[in-house]
Amino acid sequence: MLDKVLILSLFFVFCIFDLPLCMYAKANLIDKRLLRMEAETSWTNYPYSYITYVPEAESYREQSDDEAKVETFSMDSLLPDDLLERILSFLPIASIFRAGTVCKRWNEIVSSRRFLCNFSNNSVSQRPWYFMFTTTDDPSGYAYDPIIRKWYSFDLPCIETSNWFVASSCGLVCFMDNDCRNKIYVSNPITKQWRTLIEPPGHKSTDYTAMSTSVNRANQAVNRANRSYSVSIVKSKQVPGNFFQWDLSIHLYSSETMTWTTLVNDVLSGWRGGNESVICNNVLYFMIYSTGGSDHRHGLIASNLSSIGSPSSGILMRSFIPMPCSLTCGRLMNLRERLVIVGGIGKHDRPEVIKGIGIWVLKGKEWVEMAKMPQRFFQGFGEFDEVFASSGTDDLVYIQSYGSPALLTFDMNLKYWRWSQKCPVTKKFPLQLFTGFCFEPRLEIAP
């Protein structure tokens, strides 16, 4: 009680001291814009001192309501637009949407083009999210924000079932259906804008398809909303009647021309393509799997997207890179234009059983081990083959256990492993599987 009396008396002292200035402010109360201009030019004359706002002292404000009501001005009017804009640019995406509903001025600021451009430059506030599918059929699920450590009940545009193919780059997410594999959508899951792509060329039905996308990072000065992007499709189909031979074709879509180009039409012997690919530094990397007759179970092909179309067959195998070791659930990802693979390390005698999970970075043609999951985390991942999903972008790797909604994150910079906040979903039946993918939440990019 005593401290409240003290604060009140201090308050009165300030009031009296600033009385002439109080009158000045009252006269201008109606025209808020004038107040703001005053703030911009000679803000030190502004009579702010009589409202000594201290966060802890909220309770006392109710008591001195009479005094507070005398001058009701908003604190944010102290700031010119560009500074308020700068503060809001530090907010995570969810908070930006909320900020836009505070008042008209804030709404105008977060909706402005200039804000979108500045906001996207501020990479500190945004880190990639992880979307987890929580049912086996419909694509509903939750999106995890690692900064606020919160799961949002989030709806994805375009996708129809949770087994669709997904690829993402710089805020754009591509979805492809898993039936005919000819419906491809490019979307921004945050703004919900989306667009369909025309059907890719190549075999109508395939045994395996790998899809990746890449946003053109060059030319940063260009209006970010109009950045061009590519989508790659690697189609794999067994040559009829021949187990060892597989047709493999690579097709590239460019958003600039809005057309597909077939880059490669090759036949692999003893190898087939799969579902795993990623574009990194304008090179398309995709995993291939042995169909017998090789020491390696699987490997990597690095196909430079700049070299268009090659007539000779057998060209693909020239850029073959073996895996760092016998891996399961190998997943490729682009982390700041470094090619990274996450995989289960197979036991020597039983390669389908994993004894650990590792992360490697490709340097040239060599794999360098970046990290191994510490034992205490690995215990959550069991002993089976396709037991976990992993996805990553920017500098964060997400590893998810198929059998439970547990999600582990690895920060590539800090080399730090951490469980996410627990996902608000429980396993409904023993064989329920959970998968997901990661993407960067961006406001400014459009498909």
Partner 1 sequence: MSSNKIVLTSSDGESFQVEEVVARKLQIVKHLLEDDCVINEIPLQNVTGNILSIVLEYCKKHVDDVVDDDASEEPKKKKPDDEAKQNLDAWDAEFMKNIDMETIFKLILAANYLNVEGLLGLTCQTVADYIKDKTPEEVRELFNIENDFTHEEEEEAIRKENAWAFEADTKHEDPKP
Q: Which residues bind partner 1 (CB under 8 A)?
A: 39, 42-44, 48, 51-55, 72-76, 78-79, 83, 86-104, 106-107, 121-125, 143, 148, 150-155, 192, 220, 380, 404, 406, 419-422, 424
Q: How many residues are listed for the chain in this entry?
A: 447
User: Given the complex with partner 1, which of 243 and 416 has the nearer CB atom?
Assistant: 416
In the complex, the smallest distance separating the C-beta of residue 170 from partner 1, rounded to whole angstroms, is 15
User: Given the complex with partner 1, which of 312 and 375 has the nearer CB atom?
Assistant: 375
User: Given the complex with partner 1, which of 301 and 397 has the nearer CB atom?
Assistant: 397
Give, as one character, the DSSP assignment of residue 222. S
In the complex, the smallest distance separating the C-beta of residue 190 from partner 1, rounded to whole angstroms, is 9
In the complex, the smallest distance separating the C-beta of residue 348 from partner 1, rounded to whole angstroms, is 29
User: Given the complex with partner 1, which of 122 and 307 has the nearer CB atom?
Assistant: 122
In the complex, the smallest distance separating the C-beta of residue 60 from partner 1, rounded to whole angstroms, is 14
In the complex, the smallest distance separating the C-beta of residue 231 from partner 1, rounded to whole angstroms, is 24
In the complex, the smallest distance separating the C-beta of residue 227 from partner 1, rounded to whole angstroms, is 16
User: Given the complex with partner 1, which of 12 and 43 has the nearer CB atom?
Assistant: 43
C-alpha Rg value of the chain to the nearest Å: 28
User: Given the complex with partner 1, which of 154 and 402 has the nearer CB atom?
Assistant: 154
User: Given the complex with partner 1, which of 96 and 333 has the nearer CB atom?
Assistant: 96
What CA–CA distance (Å, rounded) separates 335 from 172?
A: 15
**226 phi and psi, to 5 degrees?**
-105, 20
Chain centroid to Cα 436, Å, comes to 12
User: Given the complex with partner 1, which of 17 and 43 has the nearer CB atom?
Assistant: 43
Buried b vs exposed e over 63-83: b needs ≥16 C-beta within 10 Å? ebeebbeeeebeeebbbeeee
In Å, what is the CA distance from 311 to each residue of 88, 238, 244, 315, 368? 53, 20, 22, 9, 33
In the complex, the smallest distance separating the C-beta of residue 176 from partner 1, rounded to whole angstroms, is 22
**What does 44-58 look like in DSSP terms, one character per residue?**
GGS--TT----GGGH
Q: Which of 242, 178, 244, 251 is nearest to 208 (CA)?
A: 178
Query: Which residues have a Cβ under 8 Å from the Cβ of 172 and sit 6 or more positions away?
Result: 186, 187, 188, 213, 215, 229, 445, 447
In the complex, the smallest distance separating the C-beta of residue 204 from partner 1, rounded to whole angstroms, is 34
Sign of CA dihedral 295, 297, 302, 308: positive
> Which token pair is 414?
């800090």
